[in-house]
A and B are shown apart, each in its own frame.
Chain A
Amino acid sequence: MNLSDYYAITPLVFLVCWAIFLLLVDLWIPAGRKGITALLSAAGLLIALVLVLRSGEQVLTAFEGSVVVDGFSVFLSVLFLVSALAGIALAHDYLQRLGLERGEYYPLLLISTSGMMLMTYAYDLIEVFLALELLSIPLYILAGFSRLNLESEEASLKYFLLGAFSSGFVLYGVGLVFAATGYTDFPGIAKAAQNGSLNPTLFLIGAGLVLTGFGFKSALVPFHMWSPDVYQGAPSPVTAFMSVGAKAAGFAALLRVFVVVFPGMSVNLTPLLWALAALTMFVGNIVALVQSNIKRLLAYSSIAHSGYLLMAFVPYGNASVRSDAIAGMLFYLAAYCLTTFGAWAVVIALEKAEGKGLELEDYAGLGHRYPFLAATMTIFLLSFTGVPLTLGFWGKFYLFSTAVEGGFWQLALIGLLTSLISAYYYLRVVVIMYMRPGTPQVQRNFWPLLTSGVGALAVVILGIAPGVLLNLAVSALLKGL
């Protein structure tokens, strides 16, 4: 028995044990006082956060090299843990308000988070697949958490069916890669790829299937069909968590797999990635133009952001730009996380039971009645658009500039163009909030307001001094990938 293996993944082990502990403790917490479970799970996440930060000094490998804890995984783990914290902050009051208060929410959220963390640690295709399942299965349930609500059930079922479908793609791809190389661990596959001791066609098909599977998870066009319905039907805090966590985890896995395992295949894959990124940016932004429901609007906007994130992958074959591109992607993910949670916090403050309060018209007059909420929402929407001096601007700036450095200026141009398109629907919300008269009703609850406040503050401060975050992202990569 070798404990050092477990030592390397202490935060993960702790989080899982805490989730199981919460499942048991929750039995003795009376219904109607599930706030205790929420607090306990938040405490667990904070402890896990401390454990992650403490272990962030050296690169650890464990379990025969199938798990690697490096700067990349620490950066993303922090992102996931913060997302889970935000997911809990947004959820408790919301669940109570909609009569959904059940203790299972929190352990499931924790288990999903641990799946995301495992995804960043994974250095073996078997682990990648299992982490994908571990993060997805709780999300299928959480999407249908509002059980008597038909839309929520539809969301859950759709997400489950398409998720199972995409898992099938990933698994088939993993199988073909294994068949082509004889390895499932990343170094083994990479070595086989370098010696040329593999079947290139099988390998390429396998890589394509893995890409397709993760494309579903991260909602890339043309694999995005499920996401608007799921994002609309699922309870809003779950949607927020899903749109950040699941997406980031999908990208994390793609990044690991592509950079470590498939660097030699960039010639074949780059045009494909290029097309996917361009298509995703276009479709996401253009379809978002006609949305009148805020949840659907944010869903399409999140699809569009997948496209921007994918841009970081396109120059990955070019070794000189690669680390810049990845740092840019990490930066963008962090910015996207902060902005998304802030925006969803505002949505949750306005949402009422039975799906009311979600139309754009319901935001009319928000600027006069609730200037704080309207101001934070404006900041988030500007950041989504990429208006200068917000965090989102710097995110797009880094991504576009690495794309140009990598020689893909057309892609950067498309990104710029679609950002201009996106300004229309983002600013439309701002216009409605400030220019139209109306009497919006807002649930004033401390935690969502705090989330949006903190988010807005972070977006503004980091937007003024983006170097801090960028340095973190860059130094995360210095320790190797």
Chain B
Amino acid sequence: MTIMQIIFLITASVTLFAALMVVSTRKMMHAAMWLILVLFGVTITFALLETRFFAIVQLVIYIGAIAILIIFAVMLTRRSMNADVPQVNRNWWLVMVSSLALFVGLVTVMSVWEGFFVTARTAPPGGENLVQLGTALVDPNGFVLPFEVASLVLLAAMVGAIYVAAERKEK
């Protein structure tokens, strides 16, 4: 077992444990903090694959922007310090059993597929080819249409967010 594998195993177990804590801890703010740990674990996984760009993008976007917005929203909610919200409802065991079944089923299905046992490839030394990635996003033979449509989706969402949130003078 190489050092990399040991690091990966540690990262993976910490990430999974943190993910479990996200859904099981009672305080919302703590759940958000665990979520950050999960996202950080993903960042490390990217870094282990030597994809520097994606590691940092994961950090900037998920930890730097999305998680901070979640924390911001939690701070604005009432009584965010107290933890008197029940964490589970009556059917929690049913959900647990079915999600476990789904997990086992998916793993079983995937394990017959030869791609399941392929070892992960790391990015070429020097990180990913950022120029290639950049041109692919604006190339008609690449992904310009999805890219533009995604920006349009964001525009619509932004207009909507402003519409929903903007203060309006009551008549």
A and B touch in the complex (CB under 8 A): yes
Binding site for B on A (CB under 8 A): 1-2, 5-6, 16, 20, 23, 62-64, 66-67, 99, 102, 104, 107-108, 111-112, 114, 118, 126-127, 130-131, 133-134, 137-138, 140-141, 144-145, 147-148, 156, 179-180, 199, 201-202, 205
**What CA separation (Å) do A134 and B163 show in the bound complex?**
17
Give chain A residues whose Cβ lies under 8 Å from the Cβ of B164: 141, 144, 147, 156
Which residue of B140, B142, B149 is within 8 Å of A131 (Cβ)? B149
Contact A67 B159 (CB under 8 A): no
Contact B149 A205 (CB under 8 A): no
Contact B153 A134 (CB under 8 A): yes
Nearest-Cβ distance from residue A224 to partner chain B, whole angstroms = 21
Interface of B, secondary structure class, is: helix
Contact B141 A63 (CB under 8 A): yes
The answer, yes or no, to whether B126 is at the interface (CB within 8 Å) is no
Nearest-Cβ distance from residue B131 to partner chain A, whole angstroms = 18
The answer, yes or no, to whether B156 is at the interface (CB within 8 Å) is yes
Nearest-Cβ distance from residue A155 to partner chain B, whole angstroms = 13
**What CA separation (Å) do A366 and B140 show in the bound complex?**
56
Give chain B residues whose Cβ lies under 8 Å from the Cβ of A144: 164
The answer, yes or no, to whether B127 is at the interface (CB within 8 Å) is no
Give chain A residues whose Cβ lies under 8 Å from the Cβ of B170: 148
Contact B146 A130 (CB under 8 A): yes
Contact B156 A111 (CB under 8 A): yes
Give chain B residues whose Cβ lies under 8 Å from the Cβ of A156: 164
13 further A-B contacts with Cβ under 8 Å, apart from A134-B152, A144-B164, A201-B112, are: A2-B141, A63-B140, A64-B140, A104-B159, A104-B160, A111-B152, A130-B146, A137-B153, A137-B156, A137-B160, A141-B159, A141-B160, A179-B115
The answer, yes or no, to whether B144 is at the interface (CB within 8 Å) is yes
Chain A residue with minimal CB distance to B113?
A199
Contact A134 B149 (CB under 8 A): yes
**What CA separation (Å) do A99 and B170 show in the bound complex?**
10
B131-171 contacts to A, CB under 8 A, are: 140-146, 149-150, 152-153, 155-157, 159-160, 163-164, 168, 170-171
Contact B159 A108 (CB under 8 A): yes
Give chain B residues whose Cβ lies under 8 Å from the Cβ of A145: 163
Give chain B residues whose Cβ lies under 8 Å from the Cβ of A111: 152, 155-156
Interface of A, secondary structure class, is: helix
Give chain B residues whose Cβ lies under 8 Å from the Cβ of A133: 153
**What CA separation (Å) do A148 and B142 show in the bound complex?**
44
Give chain B residues whose Cβ lies under 8 Å from the Cβ of A127: 145-146, 149
Tally of chain B residues near chain A (CB < 8 A): 27
Chain A residue with minimal CB distance to B145?
A63
**What CA separation (Å) do A140 and B160 show in the bound complex?**
9
Contact B146 A137 (CB under 8 A): no
Give chain A residues whose Cβ lies under 8 Å from the Cβ of B163: 102, 104, 141, 145, 147
Nearest-Cβ distance from residue B67 to partner chain A, whole angstroms = 18
Can you identify 8 A-B contacts, CB atoms within 8 angstroms?
A62-B140, A63-B141, A63-B144, A127-B145, A130-B153, A134-B153, A138-B156, A138-B160
The answer, yes or no, to whether B75 is at the interface (CB within 8 Å) is no
Give chain A residues whose Cβ lies under 8 Å from the Cβ of B140: 1-2, 5-6, 62-64
**What CA separation (Å) do A114 and B156 show in the bound complex?**
12
The answer, yes or no, to whether B110 is at the interface (CB within 8 Å) is yes
**What CA separation (Å) do A111 and B150 show in the bound complex?**
12
Contact A66 B149 (CB under 8 A): no
**What CA separation (Å) do A202 and B110 show in the bound complex?**
7
Chain A residue with minimal CB distance to B170?
A148
Contact A126 B146 (CB under 8 A): yes
Binary contact track B83-116/A, C-beta < 8 Å → 1, others 0: 0000000000000000000000010011011010
Give chain A residues whose Cβ lies under 8 Å from the Cβ of B160: 104, 108, 137-138, 140-141
**What CA separation (Å) do A107 and B155 show in the bound complex?**
11
The 9 closest A-B CB pairs, nearest first, are A141-B160, A130-B149, A5-B140, A199-B113, A201-B109, A111-B156, A63-B145, A137-B156, A138-B156
Give chain A residues whose Cβ lies under 8 Å from the Cβ of B152: 16, 111, 114, 134
Contact A180 B113 (CB under 8 A): yes
**What CA separation (Å) do A360 and B65 show in the bound complex?**
50
